[in-house]
């Protein structure tokens, strides 16, 4: 009797320990609808899937009743009666396990299987079995039977890294779950008993036999009248192969790296990327080539190429790709395209830089030194930006690191001027944005929208400006003319494409060649890895092939040339004499692009409205174009803060010119709340502005 009581007490205490342990474990677990981060669906920018889906959430109401019937019959016929566990099935499995001295028999209910899938490992141990029984008990008290069934249908493993029937029906049969026929449902349910054993790709005949076995096991099937007919259809059914390009995995790696920065938790999301499939498919690049194309206005990555993602992101010396940055500094300090630079032998200790052709030209103009990528005059220029060669190199390095935030591995000696900086195409195409954008660098991104498993939009990326590099518009314009000269007459000639206003710079280093270029709306960077290559015969021709396809990618704008416009229009200003301006054939819209740099929004609106009233009778089409341009480009901060910021307008100037009212205060508070997550710095400026006004 004592031993019985002791045994009972020990059993009761053990039960309490297990109960409270499981209860504590369960309270700290995720929902039964939680999905692992590996199970996201990624889309190109046109909503086509990048890779076949591994997870697709389906609501229970959209699951065919017939499929539910086969699932319940196969896995848990007492599902709607039990409380999470099936005592009879457990005792039967326990007896067999003891008899055979292993734990191969499960006796698991759907709820237990769900607990195992979501919370536990798949190892077959006594401890895991106890845990899944207890967890099933808690799940049944937290969720309805329909919720448990829906959770199971969306999480059950279907082989080939597929989670749930929604994804498996799409992968194996290219159908939505509600389109499945009887034989397809039987095959999917049959997979559950052995996802690897009945893998439809590796063992299609075995998977079909399992479906037939399930077919004949079902008694009094209300959905099937002729089992022989269904058996024939099972044997004849088509299982679609896995169809994707291995290279597309690189897109997934890039998106996943961005997911972590966004802070996305779990999985089951549909992630729409900025990647354009047509751009990617337009060229085939070999394994030694890495390249990227972006929209340099809004920061979208349109495509990139690389045999492996790690290779694309690897660092290599950039060669003469560095030159535009210190030529920019030199011109800002007073040098001009016609400044004469020495092209003569020069020594820095034991180092004697050479031109690519080992020739010296005596003296050359600054523009020719850049256009033809001459090293010796470029070194001279780089070492005379500051008061000494060392100070000059420090200034260049500081500009690249702190002003542009060009990431890479830097050297600290004079060789930096010839591109011993190591970087990658991603960093270079971003840095070159300062030229067409007159100092603005957009934040580069590849995820545009994220939807949860129920299709709700939970994240939308709005373009934002990451950096503003303060160099005069005249200097940027001069550099843009020089970089166009590289294409028309210099080392980048082979990148020239009729009808596309491409600018850029070549680069040759010991183990890689480069071309980084841009139009008014696109940016491209190409790197070809290899020793002893020339950019003119490797990276530049590749860039040309990519650039030719720019005409098929949205709008292609020309690069603004600020100085040219100023010189051309200084005798006839559009706002002073619009009729004469138009009659001379000058481009009105092109003029407005530069006027945007000179006037604030309200001033420009007033000037345009005045012009419209003057010309609408004589030039109604131009007046209409002016109105359309004004509505699209001159957005008010309070009405459309995101576009206002994207255009690079000065928020401080805007706020300081506002007339303070209580109505304005309410609007600013609303805008601040919209911007806090995406533009915290601007939200802080608004907050400070509000506090200052409140004090007054």
pLDDT, one tens digit per residue, over 299-320 is 999 999 988 888 889 999 999 9
Which residue shows structure tokens 């010396």? 317
Q: What is the pLDDT of residues 156-184, one digit of tens each?
A: 999 998 999 999 999 999 999 999 999 99
At residue 567 the predicted structure's pLDDT band, cuts being 50, 70 and 90, is very low
**What is the helix (H) or strand (E) element at residue 342, kind and residue range?**
strand 340-343
The predicted pLDDT at position 566 comes to 46
Question: pLDDT above 70 covers what percent of the chain?
Answer: 87
Question: pLDDT above 90 covers what percent of the chain?
Answer: 50
Burial of 490 (0-12, 13-18, 19+ CB in 10 A): buried
Q: How far apart are CA 433 and CA 520, in angstroms?
A: 10
What are the backbone angles phi and psi of residue 442, rounded to the nearest 5°? -75, 155
Q: Does the pLDDT at position 70 exceed 90?
A: yes
CA angle 551, 533, 383 (to 5 degrees): 90
Tokens representing 22 are 């499981």
At residue 103 the predicted structure's pLDDT band, cuts being 50, 70 and 90, is very low
The predicted pLDDT at position 648 comes to 63
The predicted pLDDT at position 12 comes to 46
What are the backbone angles phi and psi of residue 449, rounded to the nearest 5°? -145, 150
Q: How many CB atoms lie within 10 A of CB 445?
A: 21
Q: What is the pLDDT of residues 479-522, one digit of tens each?
A: 999 999 999 999 999 999 988 999 999 999 999 999 999 999 89
Q: Please, where in the chain does CATH 1.10.3810.10 lie?
A: 52-236
The predicted pLDDT at position 122 comes to 57
The predicted pLDDT at position 126 comes to 55
Mean pLDDT of 45-56: 89
The predicted pLDDT at position 318 comes to 97
- Indicate the DSSP class of residue 470: -
- 623 versus 321: the higher-pLDDT residue is 321
Q: What is the pLDDT of residues 469-480, one digit of tens each?
A: 999 989 999 999
- Residues listed for the chain: 696
At residue 646 the predicted structure's pLDDT band, cuts being 50, 70 and 90, is low
Q: How far apart are CA 644 and CA 587, in angstroms?
A: 24
Q: How far apart are CA 76 and CA 144, in angstroms?
A: 16
Q: What is the pLDDT of residues 197-225, one digit of tens each?
A: 999 999 999 999 999 999 999 988 899 98
Decide if 519 contacts 297 (C-beta within 8 A).
no
CATH annotation of 52-236: 1.10.3810.10
Q: How far apart are CA 297 and CA 366, in angstroms?
A: 29
Which of 1-15, 182-196, 446-460 is predicted least confidently?
Answer: 1-15
Q: How far apart are CA 641 and CA 686, in angstroms?
A: 12
Decide if 39 contacts 162 (C-beta within 8 A).
no
Nearest C-alpha neighbor of 353 from the set 432, 418, 446: 418
What does the radius of gyration of the chain's CA atoms come to, in whole angstroms? Answer: 33
Burial of 310 (0-12, 13-18, 19+ CB in 10 A): exposed
Q: Which residues contact 647 (CB under 8 A, 6 or more apart)?
A: 596, 633, 635
Residue-averaged pLDDT of the chain? 85
The predicted pLDDT at position 564 comes to 46
Q: What is the pLDDT of residues 8-41, one digit of tens each?
A: 455 445 445 555 555 545 555 567 777 777 788 9
Give the count of alpha carbons within 13 A of 4, CB side only: 1
At residue 85 the predicted structure's pLDDT band, cuts being 50, 70 and 90, is confident
What are the backbone angles phi and psi of residue 159, rounded to the nearest 5°? 80, 160
- 135 versus 429: the higher-pLDDT residue is 429
The predicted pLDDT at position 9 comes to 54
Q: What is the pLDDT of residues 342-361, one digit of tens each?
A: 999 988 878 888 998 889 99
Decide if 447 contacts 258 (C-beta within 8 A).
yes
The predicted pLDDT at position 569 comes to 45
Its pTM stands at 0.72
At residue 447 the predicted structure's pLDDT band, cuts being 50, 70 and 90, is very high
- 645 versus 75: the higher-pLDDT residue is 75
Relative to beta strand 41-43, strand 270-273 is parallel
């Amino acid at each position: 009797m004592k031993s019985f009581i002791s045994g009972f007490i020990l059993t009761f205490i053990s039960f309490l320990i297990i109960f409270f342990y499981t209860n504590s474990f369960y309270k700290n677990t995720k929902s039964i609808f939680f999905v692992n981060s590996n199970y996201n669906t990624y889309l190109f920018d046109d909503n086509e899937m990048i890779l076949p889906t591994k997870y697709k959430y389906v609501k229970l109401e959209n699951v065919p009743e017939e499929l539910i019937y086969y699932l319940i019959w196969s896995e848990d016929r007492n599902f709607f009666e039990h409380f999470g566990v099936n005592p009879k099935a457990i005792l039967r499995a326990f007896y067999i396990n003891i008899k055979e001295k292993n734990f191969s028999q499960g006796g698991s209910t759907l709820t237990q299987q769900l607990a195992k899938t979501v919370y536990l490992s798949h190892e077959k141990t006594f401890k895991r079995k106890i845990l899944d029984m207890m967890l099933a008990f808690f799940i049944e008290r937290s969720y309805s039977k329909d919720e448990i069934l829906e959770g199971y249908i969306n999480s059950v493993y279907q082989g080939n890294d597929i989670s749930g029937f929604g994804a498996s029906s799409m992968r194996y049969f290219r159908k939505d779950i509600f389109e499945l026929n009887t034989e397809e449902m039987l095959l999917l349910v049959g997979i559950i008993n052995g996802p690897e054993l009945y893998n439809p790709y590796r063992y299609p005949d075995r998977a079909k036999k399992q479906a037939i076995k399930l077919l004949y096991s079902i008694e009094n099937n209300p959905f099937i009248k002729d089992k022989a007919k269904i058996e024939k259809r099972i044997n004849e059914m088509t299982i679609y192969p896995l169809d994707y390009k291995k290279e597309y995995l690189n897109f997934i790696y890039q998106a996943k790296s961005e997911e972590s920065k966004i802070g996305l938790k779990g999985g089951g999301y549909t992630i729409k990327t900025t990647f354009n499939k047509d751009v990617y498919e337009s060229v085939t690049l070999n394994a030694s080539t890495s390249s990227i194309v972006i929209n340099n206005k809004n920061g979208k990555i349109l495509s990139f190429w690389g045999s492996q993602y790690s290779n694309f992101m690897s660092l290599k010396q950039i060669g003469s790709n560095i030159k535009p940055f210190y030529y920019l500094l030199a011109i800002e300090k007073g040098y001009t395209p016609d400044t004469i630079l020495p092209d003569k032998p020069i020594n820095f200790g034991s180092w004697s830089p050479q031109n690519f052709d080992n020739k010296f030209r005596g003296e050359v103009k600054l523009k020719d030194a850049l256009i033809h990528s001459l090293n010796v005059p470029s070194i001279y220029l780089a070492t005379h930006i500051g008061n000494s060669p060392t100070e000059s190199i420090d200034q260049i390095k500081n500009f690249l690191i702190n002003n542009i935030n060009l990431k890479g591995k830097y050297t600290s000696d004079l060789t930096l001027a010839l591109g011993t900086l190591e970087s990658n195409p991603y960093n270079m195409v971003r840095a070159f944005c300062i030229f067409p954008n007159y100092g603005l660098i957009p934040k580069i991104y590849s995820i545009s929208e994220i939807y949860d498993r129920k299709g709700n939009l939970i994240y939308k990326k709005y373009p934002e400006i990451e950096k503003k590099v303060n160099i005069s518009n005249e200097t940027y314009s001069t550099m843009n003319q020089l970089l166009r000269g590289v294409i028309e007459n210099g080392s980048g000639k082979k990148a020239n494409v009729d009808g596309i206003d491409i600018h850029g710079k070549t680069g040759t280093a010991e183990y890689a060649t480069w071309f980084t270029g841009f139009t008014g709306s696109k940016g491209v960077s190409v790197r070809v890895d290899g020793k002893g290559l020339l950019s003119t015969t490797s990276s530049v021709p590749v860039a040309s092939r990519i650039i030719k396809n720019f005409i098929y990618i949205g709008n292609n704008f020309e690069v603004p040339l600020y100085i040219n416009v100023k010189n051309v229009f200084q005798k006839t200003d559009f706002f002073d004499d619009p009729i004469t301006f138009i009659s001379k054939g000058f481009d009105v819209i092109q003029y407005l692009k530069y006027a945007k740099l000179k006037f604030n929004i309200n001033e420009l609106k007033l000037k345009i409205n005045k012009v419209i009233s003057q010309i609408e009778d004589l030039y109604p089409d131009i007046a209409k174009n002016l109105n359309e341009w004004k509505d699209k480009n001159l957005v008010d901060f309070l009405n459309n803060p995101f576009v206002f910021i994207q255009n690079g307008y000065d928020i401080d100037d805007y706020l300081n010119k506002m007339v303070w009212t209580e109505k304005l205060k309410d609007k600013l508070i609303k805008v601040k709340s919209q911007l806090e997550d995406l533009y915290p710095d601007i939200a802080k400026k608004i907050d400070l502005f509000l506090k200052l006004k409140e004090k007054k």
